[in-house]
Amino acid sequence: MNGIAGKTALVTGAGSGIGRASARRFAAEGANVVAADIATAEGRETVDRIRDAGGDATFVEVDVADTDSVENMVDVAVETYGSLEFAHNNAGILTDFVDVTGISEARWNRIIDVNLKGVWACLKAELPVMKSQGEGAIVNTASEAGLVGMPGLSSYSASKHGVVGLTKSVALEHAERGIRVNAVAPGPTKTNIQSGLLGDRPGGSTPSLRDRLRTALRLIRTAIRTVRADYDTSAMRDVPMGRIADPEEIAGAVAFLCSSDASYITGHTIPVDGGQAAD
Ligand code: NAD
């Protein structure tokens, strides 16, 4: 990718899954990486892996739902590396499969606070730095659930539709200032997030690959069963490519959108979904 080496990339949710893959990809492209996560052990492990591979990375603990914590994260990034050219606002949590009437207010608020307000808080802290530099590229992690309805995942889907709208609006606000803002919409991806079915577990132990795959497949099967049994919709669909994504495949799209190869792309949400959105 062109235009990434020697610059600074901030990734939230960098302790696991898509965020870890993104942090490692930015480092492989020659960027200095600020790996931020609420889970300190996992975030530090990402940094260790980058350093072991010869890259430069720093860990920052952050709760993206807390604006003070997010401002501190951006301050640390700029103090450490002197600039901030790229941000991947990626941290997110999933919810239980439940009808909209069954969601507790606390659970609804936490999903929106992390997945939507968290992206807003990151943008609010990152953009002034990028504006002062006259350059920057931001990628927010939305979801397939931000493009179509997901029965049983209404709070998650609402939060991700919000990320898509936020991305468009902020991109328009900054299009003439040399700052691009896009989003990726991953389809089902092999990460820990499926354990959101069992509740938040930031900081918890990392399940084995076998367990994570089993959970991912259970999520998909549960979704399909839920649709067939309870909902009149075809929103949950099989993946045309016949497999779920590796996190590195989402990270590749993030790196592309930040690179100068994507210099004329802003305000868009790119599905990275094995063809799901086309079906
Ligand atoms: P993951 O659970 O493997 O990683 C999420 C990371 O975010 C974890 O390291 C977790 O500790 C961190 N995190 C959670 N709450 C946080 C908070 N408040 N502040 C800071 N960090 C926090 O899951 P993932 O699949 O890599 O998820 C990354 C993003 O991708 C999320 O926004 C998710 O909604 C989105 N996504 C995932 C899939 C999928 O199938 N895996 C599909 C579409 C979208």
DSSP letters of 165-209?
HHHHHHHHHHGGGTEEEEEEEE-SBSSGGGGGGG---TTSPPPPH
- Ligand 1 centre distance from Cα of residue 193 (Å): 6
- Ligand 1 centre distance from Cα of residue 184 (Å): 13
According to DSSP, the residues that pair with 179 across neighbouring strands are 136
Atom of ligand 1 nearest to the CA of 115: 32
- Ligand 1 centre distance from Cα of residue 92 (Å): 4
Candidate of 12, 18, 95 to mutate for ligand 1, largest count of ligand atoms within 8 Å of Cβ:
18
Average pLDDT across the chain, whole number: 89
- Ligand 1 centre distance from Cα of residue 85 (Å): 22
Average pLDDT over residues 41-52: 98
What is the band of 63 on the pLDDT scale with cuts at 50, 70, 90?
Answer: very high
Digit-coded pLDDT (tens) for 83-122: 999 999 999 999 878 889 999 999 999 999 999 999 999 9
Q: Is there a catalytic annotation at residue 156?
A: yes
Atom of ligand 1 nearest to the CA of 191: 3
Digit-coded pLDDT (tens) for 111-121: 999 999 999 99
232, 267 contact by CB (below 8 A)? no
- Name the closest-CA residue to atom 4, ligand 1: 16
Q: pLDDT above 90 covers what percent of the chain?
A: 76
CB under 6 Å to ligand 1: residues? 12-13, 15-19, 37-39, 42, 62-65, 90-93, 114, 141, 143-144, 186, 188-189, 191-193, 202
pLDDT exceeds 60 at position 234: no
∠ CA 15-119-65 to the nearest 5 degrees? 70
Token reading at 187: 């389809």
- Name the closest-CA residue to atom 12, ligand 1: 13
What Cα–Cα distance (Å) separates residue 29 from each residue in 25, 120, 178? 6, 27, 21
